[in-house]
Amino acid sequence: MTEGLYGKSLLDLTELTEENFIEIIQLGIGMKKDSEKYKTVLSGKILAMIFEKNSTRTRVSFEAGIIQLGGQAIILDTKSTQMGRGEPVKDTAKVISSYVDGIMIRTFSDQMIQEFSKESSVPIINGLTDHHHPCQVLADFMTIFEIKNKLKGIKLAYVGDGNNMAHSYLLGGSIVGMDIAIASPKEYQPNPEYVEQAQKIANTSGSQIIITDDPYEAVKNADVVVTDVWASMGDEGEQEMRTQIFHDYQVNDSLVQQAKSDYIFLHCLPAHREEEVSSKVIDGDHSYIYQEAENRLHAQKALLVKLMAKEK
């Protein structure tokens, strides 16, 4: 029997075991098939949602998710709260956690969310930070599991900026035994700290980690091909420069011919067609971006239940 997640936080994917991943994914699939069965499981529970970064999918999926489970959401924009006026994280965390049953935070600083978790009396969920995007990868792995019926032994190739998505694929993939290949320009490759962390995990799980500046090497024989925008939130001022640097990293017909014939394409969205991905690929038969986006709802509902509902 695996260790329960009740009352714990999810700041990055290293806080999950392979068994936790499978449990969350299978629960998410069950909820997707029969949402009525779970409509009161978090009755009376309140989820506070703190946003410092703009959001579409994270906000709607978490708010809809807690409501569908019988709970309620309180939406907080840091600009309209005392956090925007410089209230210490410690004070905010202690106070808000005394009012609610869980807190989802979408922010820039990983240090901020770590401090918030340290001071909070309720579970904290990382809805996105500069270095991690665990909930998106839970949804992506759920999508892969639905289509491929496994995670272990799958090769996932990520092409583009070595950002929070790349970090989360490295960590999550190494935990569940997926082979992860990341192709980025040398100056935009993933943070070495997370590469080293993933490699240590991979040494136990048996997965293979590849970091390269050659997208064709990364995509060769891939089961899953993934990309993300070239300029993440906070990097918009570098868009023109990055467009030139990443020019050869577009996921297009030429590149995906290196993947397996039954490969699937994923993108966390929003996407810029004809920049990081061609329209032909993202709107083609191998693309599962909308199933992936819908699975944010189901995977996060499963996560909320695991963190906020006592097992009977």
CB–CB of 149/235 below 8 Å? no
DSSP-assigned letter for residue 2? P
> Amino acid identity, residue 45?
K
47, 74 in Cβ contact below 8 A?
Answer: yes
In angstroms, what CA-CA distances link 99 with 47, 105, 125?
Answer: 10, 16, 16
Q: Annotated catalytic, 296?
A: yes
Catalytic residue among 131, 132, 133, 242: 133
What are 98's two structure tokens? 């005394």
Active-site entry in 228, 250, 267, 298: 228
| 228 in active site | yes
Q: Which residue in 131, 167, 242, 296 is the catalytic one?
A: 296
Annotated catalytic residue, options 106, 131, 167, 267? 106
Query: Is 248 noted as a catalytic residue in this protein?
Result: no
136 carries an active-site annotation: yes
Residue among 12, 135, 136, 161 flagged as catalytic? 136
Give the residues across from 211 on adjacent strands.
182
Report residue 198 as tokens: 């993933």
167 is known as an active-site residue? no
Active site (catalytic) residues: 106, 133, 136, 228, 268, 296
